């Protein structure tokens, strides 16, 4: 590696692990056709990102549970708790969201799915991981696309490890019209406390402000089955505190916008995250204040995906203090190792699937409620009222094992990505090159904003600018030549031990290119997550791919 001696085939899981969370698209054309919904690619998929593609174990479990219960014109999907299943039903049947595509509420039912515990467990793990019940939504087969939209937007579905375990057991299914009485709470395994403490310790490691009043505590860390599930539950909980407008600052993950659209949350989108955008935010706050109103929250990433820009977080914090709103920061890309946002964020949301896990074989997420700001008591009450730990035990155990090497891995990824940027950036001003832009916090107009939240250097770790970069080209021909000639894994996700590249818009926003372009996001952008690759080998591969891109100018 990085050269793939035996490149995976289209649709193969990457990495080659039973519960991999990515899938290989060898060429630009494969990604383009997948984004456009071409059956050629869709039918070749043996895996996919778990929120966008049902794992084979999930498909098998849904079929098994519905075998004697679901008619040929229906399908079943399973969730870890009753409330999530009810939310899915409400989504599927919402005429506000789907208009004429909404399912008839009378055709959608909720079911309780109960599993028997194996009498002769081959190992103690079978007992430890046993889940006695799940909740299902039975819906018309014609609502499959809408169902999968909910699965994708919320990240609340069951994991492939949980599905694999449930497949080994006998099952009974019965309809329910209301939440059944709660079973006695199961004692949580020690692994959850280990994970919460690890997240809290990383939030506290090398603080920018050693004198802050409150340290991060593990009981302020909430675990979820994906990063999007964490975001979804913040959107569920905050209206209990204040049901009002939210503002998205900086180009956000597109699913977040779609989620809040679907939830009917009033919002404003300030895509660049520049000082002028924050000026606009301040104008909104001033006007709201004049008529006696307040917004609920401002959300941003640090930095954002995929253009790696960082808004002026300190200025937003001052506005939060002055105009009384919650500031939510997603630090997934900067990550605990590099950035410290505890002095600015009321709530910190993190996808643990990426750098923290680091091996692309677990979905997980976390929320941290910051005790250093005045609304902490009310937020704590709101979150505790609705929180259920749905991170499956086997996923938690894998996450705990993988995350032990987090700082060690990130040291190399910071260095490698920075070296690639140093090599590529001069070409953006070379008229002979097709490379138009390199996006990375180190070379971005918002570099000072990023550096404002960088942790200090310690003996065990030197903070950097992150483990992925994005490159943009003059033409689609140049971008596709660059991508096709990168000998990397090609697919969604980032932060893994393997290098993963993807043309972001082609995959994520294929149907919304015009909208993306209006916010500065070009279809010629390629995102590169460097993985644990030798720096010199990575540079050689990128150099050859750039030569292939530049060759298109004379073709």
More confident residue, 270 or 41: 41
Q: What percent of the chain has pLDDT over 70?
A: 93
More confident residue, 183 or 474: 474
Note the pLDDT tens digit of each residue in 504-544. Answer: 999 988 878 887 887 788 999 999 999 999 999 999 999 99
The answer on pLDDT for 262 being more than 90 is: no
Q: 150, 326, 102: which is closest to 255 by C-alpha?
A: 150
- Across the strands, what pairs with 368? 221, 348
Q: What's the token pair of residue 18?
A: 């039973």
What pTM, to 2 d.p., does this model score? Answer: 0.95
Does an H or E element contain 282, and which?
helix 275-290
**Residue 7: per-residue pLDDT:** 76
**Residue 76: per-residue pLDDT:** 97
Helices (H), 339-439: 376-386, 393-402, 406-424
**47 and 20 Cβ atoms separated by less than 8 Å:** yes
Note the pLDDT tens digit of each residue in 12-49. Answer: 999 999 999 999 999 999 999 998 889 999 999 999 99
Residue whose tokens read 């086997």: 394
Per DSSP (E only), the strands in 117-195 are 133-140, 171-176
**333 and 301 Cβ atoms separated by less than 8 Å:** yes
The answer on pLDDT for 3 being more than 60 is: no
Note the pLDDT tens digit of each residue in 288-336. Answer: 999 999 999 999 999 999 999 999 999 999 999 999 999 999 999 999 9
**Residue 184: per-residue pLDDT:** 60
Work out the pLDDT band at 1, boundaries 50, 70, 90. very low
Report the 10 Å Cβ neighbour count for 64.
18
- CA 551/CA 547 separation, integer angstroms: 6
384 Cβ contact partners less than 8 Å away, ≥ 6 residues apart: none
The answer on pLDDT for 97 being more than 50 is: yes
Pairing of strands 347-351, 365-369: antiparallel
- CA 172/CA 441 separation, integer angstroms: 53
Q: 383, 301, 389: which is closest to 345 by C-alpha?
A: 301
Work out the pLDDT band at 487, boundaries 50, 70, 90. very high
Note the pLDDT tens digit of each residue in 271-293. Answer: 667 899 999 999 999 999 999 99
DSSP state of 211: T
Query: With the CA atoms of 106, 112, 113 and 118 taken in that order, what torsion angle do they form, in degrees rounded to the nearest 10?
Result: -170
- CA 184/CA 453 separation, integer angstroms: 43
**Residue 508: per-residue pLDDT:** 85
The answer on pLDDT for 549 being more than 80 is: yes
Per DSSP (E only), the strands in 156-296 are 171-176, 221-224, 246-249, 267-270
The answer on pLDDT for 234 being more than 90 is: yes
Report the 10 Å Cβ neighbour count for 141.
12
∠ CA 525-494-226, nearest 5°, is 120
Work out the pLDDT band at 432, boundaries 50, 70, 90. very high
| Sheet with 171-176, edge to edge strand ranges | 74-79, 133-140, 109-115, 171-176
The answer on pLDDT for 454 being more than 90 is: yes
Note the pLDDT tens digit of each residue in 126-163. Answer: 567 788 899 999 999 999 999 999 999 999 999 999 99
Counted residue by residue, the chain has a size of: 555
Note the pLDDT tens digit of each residue in 382-399. Answer: 999 889 999 999 999 999
Residue whose tokens read 């530049």: 550
- CA 202/CA 171 separation, integer angstroms: 41
**505 and 521 Cβ atoms separated by less than 8 Å:** yes
Compute the 3-state secondary structure of the chain and give helix, strand, coil in percent, each to the nearest 5.
45, 15, 40
444 Cβ contact partners less than 8 Å away, ≥ 6 residues apart: 303, 308, 309, 310, 450
**3 and 542 Cβ atoms separated by less than 8 Å:** no
Residue whose tokens read 């520049």: 274
Q: What's the token pair of residue 136?
A: 């299902």
**8 and 45 Cβ atoms separated by less than 8 Å:** no
The answer on pLDDT for 86 being more than 80 is: yes
What is the pLDDT of the chain when averaged over all its residues?
92
DSSP state of 160: H
């Amino acid at each position: 590696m990085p050269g793939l001696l035996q490149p995976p085939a289209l649709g193969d899981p990457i990495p080659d692990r039973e519960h991999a969370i990515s899938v290989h698209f060898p060429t630009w054309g494969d990604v383009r056709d997948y984004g456009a919904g071409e059956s050629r690619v869709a039918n070749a998929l043996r895996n996919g990102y778990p929120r966008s593609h049902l794992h084979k174990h999930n498909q098998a479990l849904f079929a098994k549970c519905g075998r004697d219960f679901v008619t040929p014109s229906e399908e079943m999907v399973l969730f870890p708790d009753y409330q999530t299943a009810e939310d899915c039903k409400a989504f599927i049947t919402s005429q506000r969201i789907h208009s004429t595509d909404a399912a008839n509420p009378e055709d959608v039912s909720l079911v309780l799915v109960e599993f028997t515990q194996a009498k002769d467990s081959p190992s103690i793990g079978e007992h430890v991981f046993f889940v006695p019940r799940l909740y299902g939504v039975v819906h018309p087969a014609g609502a499959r696309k809408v169902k999968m939209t909910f699965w994708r937007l919320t990240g609340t579905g069951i994991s492939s490890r949980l599905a694999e375990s449930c497949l080994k057991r006998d099952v009974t299914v019965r309809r329910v019209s209301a939440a059944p009485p709660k079973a006695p709470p199961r004692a949580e395994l020690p692994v959850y406390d280990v994970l919460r403490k690890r997240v809290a310790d990383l939030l506290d490691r090398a603080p920018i402000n050693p004198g802050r009043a409150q340290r991060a505590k593990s009981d302020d860390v909430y675990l979820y089955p994906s990063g999007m599930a964490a975001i979804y539950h913040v959107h569920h909980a905050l209206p209990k505190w204040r049901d009002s407008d939210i503002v998205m600052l900086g180009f956000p993950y597109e699913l977040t916008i779609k989620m809040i659209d679907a939830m009917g949350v009033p919002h404003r989108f300030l895509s660049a995250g520049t000082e002028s955008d924050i000026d606009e935010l301040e104008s909104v706050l001033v006007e709201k204040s004049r008529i006696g109103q307040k917004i609920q929250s401002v959300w941003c990433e640090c930095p954002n995906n995929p253009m790696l820009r960082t808004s002026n977080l300190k200025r937003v914090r001052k506005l939060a203090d002055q105009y009384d709103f919650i500031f939510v920061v997603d630090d997934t890309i900067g990550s605990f190792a590099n950035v410290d946002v505890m002095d600015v964020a009321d709530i910190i949301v993190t996808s643990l699937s990426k750098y923290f896990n680091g091996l692309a074989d677990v979905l997980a997420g976390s929320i941290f409620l910051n005790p250093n700001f005045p609304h902490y008591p009310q937020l704590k009450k709101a979150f505790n009222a609705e929180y259920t730990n749905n991170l499956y035990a086997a996923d938690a155990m894998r996450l705990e094992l993988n995350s032990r090497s987090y700082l060690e891995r990130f040291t190399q990824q910071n260095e490698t990505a920075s070296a690639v940027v140093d090599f590529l950036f001069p070409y953006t001003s070379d008229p002979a090159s097709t490379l138009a832009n390199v996006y990375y916090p180190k070379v971005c107009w918002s570099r000072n904003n990023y550096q404002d939240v960088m942790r200090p250097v310690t003996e065990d770790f030197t903070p950097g600018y992150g483990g992925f970069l994005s490159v943009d080209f003059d033409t689609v021909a140049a971008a596709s030549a660059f991508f096709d000639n990168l000998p990397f894994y090609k697919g969604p996700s980032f932060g893994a031990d393997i290098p993963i590249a993807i043309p972001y818009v082609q995959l994520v926003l294929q149907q919304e290119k015009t909208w993306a372009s209006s916010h500065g996001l070009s279809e010629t952008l390629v995102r590169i997550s460097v993985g644990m690759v030798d720096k010199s080998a990575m540079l050689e591969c990128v150099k050859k791919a750039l030569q292939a891109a530049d060759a298109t100018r004379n073709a």
